Structure 1
Amino acid sequence: MANERILLVLSNPEVRQIAEDQTLSPEGYQVSVATSCEEAERMAANTRPDIMVIGDQLEDGDHLELAAKILEQRPTMPVIVYSHLGTRTVPLEVVRLGVIDWLSPPLRSDRLLASVQRGLKRRKHWQDWLDIEARRQTGPLLQRLDELEALAQVGQSVTAHLDIDRVLKNALEAAVSLTGAEEGSILLYDEDTSDLYMRAALNFQDEFVSTFRLETEDSLAGEVFHSGEPKVINEQTPQKIKTAYLVHSLIYVPLKAHGESIGVLGVDNRESGRGFEDRHVTLLSAIADYAAIAIENANLYSHTEVERSKLERILRQIQDGVIVLDASGQPTLINRAARKALELGEADFSNWHYSRVFTHEGLIDVIEGKNEDPYRVELELAGGRTYNANVTEIPDIGRVVTLHDITYLKELDRVKSDFVTAVSHDLRSPLTAILGYVELITRAGEVNQQQSMFIDRVQTSVKNITDLINDLLDLGRIEVGLDENIERVPLASIIGYSMDGIKHLADQKGQDLSVNASGEVPAVVGNPIQLRQMLDNILGNAVKYTPNGGTITLRTGQEDGQVYLQIVDTGPGIPQESQARIFDKFYRANNVPEEIQGTGLGLAIVQSIVENHRGRIWVDSKVGEGSTFTVVLPVTE
């Protein structure tokens, strides 16, 4: 029994009864009825009938115009016209409209039923034809969509998984599926043997895969590897790739990373003679790109893991303590040395904030940047040991704290200081006696020229040794923090006193000594005696090493909450290789004339004073052009 939907557009009740009750409904058709054009259009849109029967004498419009409108909207809709018009033009008109049949009164059930069946049959033919055409037209598109979806899945696999075997298996499954091949393989280059080996395979026997090797110099795969261009075989007779490996058809495409070949992707048919098309080469090339990326990612990950493991072993075994904090302040690494120094044991602190892990206030303060030096502090830890703690900010990672045990160095420094102090004090008395007796010689009677020369040498040597002792004692006091008389110091006064004190020495050498101040010189917080000594030492060196008639200028100014002092001279300059050591104890540049005496401690004292005042000092110099020493100190708030 039929189940098609029929829409009757009939205004005459008697005709509707014949059509619906006596003819169509008994045959099992689903019949709907409209009596006007407006109702017919609405029901045609809503019920989507399979066929329409349109009669004349409609109250709100012409039945032929309604048919034309329906057919314009749905060209494949079978439309039957029932009309009282008896002229010969009616059949011609309905044919032009595309109506499939025309019925004239009186309406007979057999004619109506036959016309409906013909219309539904024609509709089915139209629908079947449209389906065939749609499949013919959209088939390649659907195939391309399937191919793109498969490629997308391979790409997603590359980015979602680090398991190289799984990714390569997915790539081969896609390659075999999309090309209709029987087998698939990925060959990689072995740098040690210069051969290609089978890294991954699909539908090959395991023993064949494990023993497979191809020379790159005498094989089709090697040709693809070296040329970087795909190769295709489509032959009716089997072609030899390797012993016991014969194929009817095959595609090899190169695997490339950073423009260099790393292997070959291949698919083949050994049993069937089905060949491959150009589009298969394109698909395989895309899959090969994904496979190459996966291999490169796996190599990078493996290399990263090896390096990470090495670094972790180094950090765990290194003698210095290392603490790594993430951006939220939670430890990601506390090595063995740091755990021992801080007495932390073997507990896991990975989800703790550092303020709960560490109890030493000095360590917490330097991590939080609360100290005068926000990145370094000396810590007295368990067992009386002293550690130098340094904090380094690492963008996007967090902070790294290193703990360097300086207990031995502190002890050496203490022993050195005690030794220098003892020796200096023990030497002062005999030196004073020597100098006194030398002066008495000149008072005891006349001395000849040679004796006078000897006396002068003795006095000069004693003075040099005395200066050295005084410098050693000064440096020792500064380094151990003695003379901590901290106050607000008017730096302009210090500059004036120092310039006045050195002026007579500059005048003796005919040197031009001047001050160039950029604005008012601000005050600083510090030890006035040490600051005066700092300036005296730098200016004294400038006068000492600048030749007669030279120029020495002290420039000063204020910038960004700091005051700077620049001592510029026209002396011989400092060689580049000596500038890195110019502040070391007892170091003198290699271009200093032998006749110019010095202890080699003046600039070491200067550096210690500057650092004690939270300042910085550096030198800019060129041989033959002079030197510029720059001191930067924080201004009093």
Structure 2
Amino acid sequence: MIPHIFRQALRAKSGEWKWILSRGRIIERDQEGHPVRSVGTHLDITEARRATEILNRRNELLTSLSAALQTFISDSGSNQAFQNILRSFVEFSRSEAGLLCEIKRDPSGEIKPDQELAYVFERVETSSGPRVEADELRRIAGTFRELPFHLKEAQADTRLAPDECPLVKSLLALPVSRGDELLGMVLLANRPGGYTGEIPHEARLLLNTFGTMISKRHAVQQRNAARAELAEQKEQLAVTLASIGEAVIALDCSKRILFMNPSAERLTGLSLDEARSMPLAEAFSLFDTHGYPAENPVEKVHQTGMPHGNLYSIEHPLELRSHGLSQPSILAAAAPMRGADGTLTGFVLVLRDVGNELRADSAKRDFVSCVSHELRTPLTSIQGFVATILGDAEMPAELRTEFLAIIQEQAKRLGILVEDILEISKVESGRLRLTKEPVDLSTIVQTCVREMAPEAARKQLALKMEISSPFPTMTGDRSKLLSVVSNLLSNAIKFTPAQGRIKVSLDARQDELILEVSDTGYGIPPEDIPRVFEKFYRVERPDLQIPGAGLGLAIVQNIVLMHSGRVEVDSEVGSGTTFRVFLPLTEPADRLR
């Protein structure tokens, strides 16, 4: 007879279940045909069966770990990898639910779960009844002070309030660490029969894997934050370099161009794409004021081995020549770029166009000279006539009256000059304001013509006025518009020789007023016309000595612009000049400053 080999579970007297491997023959069966008694050999295989179950579970665990790690490697920030490995943890421990979260320690050393970084929650279907929810586990995670934490019978343990977590039967909280650093927590709930001491030991591989993954995730987050910060710094640097007026050029160690900002592109006439990798010597050359090749500051920095942080500057203006362009007033400076170990990595060259500054300085010098002359002339005249009057007590009354009239005229000349200087100062500082009111420009023109008619007559000039009627009013500042007409008419009288003609006309066309002051004077050369409205600028007339500080037309243009108008000029040397002022009739009140 062939013996039977079968496995059966028997309860020992101690109440513990044992697995038995039987080999023999069955001598009695129950009514359903199950073996009741047998004859043969019997072997206790309980430990072997447990070892096999553990081995099978570990094989399943390794398979799950491999799949989860593959997901994590392909996407180092993937929550799916954490979810997969946590699912393996829950299934390995035969729990109903699990939670993985990062944790931190507060200054007192207590554990503080980071609820925003509770990565995943997985619930295993073990029964049809109600199961513990993720929110319950999150609440429980905030109650621990030390790890690991084990509750065999949660409802009977005073450390956990049963009213807050009624569905929790058993609980195990394990630390996730990387070396001595506590990174997170794995929380398992509701294992049938509770949690034994074998679970933490068998779960070491899972916990270590969790620790590695969280640590790597931290590293990736820090690296991404550093990259984002670096990108922001690069963007800020690019915006800064693009907005500054100085030309900035970065060079490598062989003095080839790596970078140019927009100012450098405008100065050299080369785009960055054209200049990249080009030797600096081919991009442009520097020359001194005598036209001889000048020293390039980059060469000086290279030759002297200048340390990081030092700057070599050329203090006098140079001429830059680049592919047909010439920039005559350039200041140059260079500095080395060195790595953390002091190794030379390249150079930075900064070029600054100081042409406007030099012209401004020249204009200031001319202004001081001009104003000094303009002030000295009437003051000398006044002092001379006053001294003459005081020195001659018996001077005839008629002569004294003539001298006093001259003194009065020179004092008036001084007053006008001072007023012009104050007016242009207010314009530049933004302190000039308009007092808005309805203004009849024709009345202003008639007043100016009447006041200046004697001066025009003294120079034997024919002064004519034409005003269309009826004439509309506009909104503006009466005193400032009076200054506009006065300056234009005064210039016409000053720059028109005897026997000349001056015409002042005023007309209204559609939605604007047109004031025109024309003369048959000396005229303005074409090259000077674009600059006549610059402050302190005066047309060079070597054969004529005409007083003035070069402020009148600058004042005229600024006042007209403040009224939202414009000024045009036509001129021909030897034939005369015409200034036209266009002022809107319907100027919005809120545009008047």
What TM-score bracket applies, with the shorter chain setting the length? 0.3 to 0.5
- Tell me the TM-score normalized by structure 2: 0.33
As a proportion of its length, which structure holds more helix?
1
